[in-house]
Amino acid sequence: MQLLYGTGNPAKISAMKRRLADSNIEIIGLKDLNKEIPEVIEDGNTPLENATLKAKAYYKEYGMPVFSCDSGLYIDAIPDELQPGVHVRTVAGKVLTDAEMRDYYSGLAAKYGNLKARYRNAICLVIDEEHIYGAMDENMESGEFIITSKSHEKVKEGFPLDSISIDIKSGKYYYDLDKDELDQLAVEDGFLEFFKKYLVKL
Distance, CA of 136 to CA of 121 (rounded, Å) = 6
Sign of CA dihedral 47, 48, 49, 55: positive
Nearest to 142 by CA among 84, 49, 74, 88: 74
Distance, CA of 186 to CA of 163 (rounded, Å) = 14
CA distances 160 to 78, 112, 154, Å, are 21, 20, 11
- Give me the catalytic one of 22, 43, 70, 183: 70
97 Cβ partners below 8 Å, 6+ apart? none
Q: Are 187 and 15 in contact (CB under 8 A)?
A: yes
Is residue 189 part of the annotated active site? The answer reads no
Distance, CA of 80 to CA of 57 (rounded, Å) = 31
> SS3 of 107, please?
helix
Please give the biggest Cα pair distance in the chain. 50
Could you give the residue numbers annotated as active site? 70
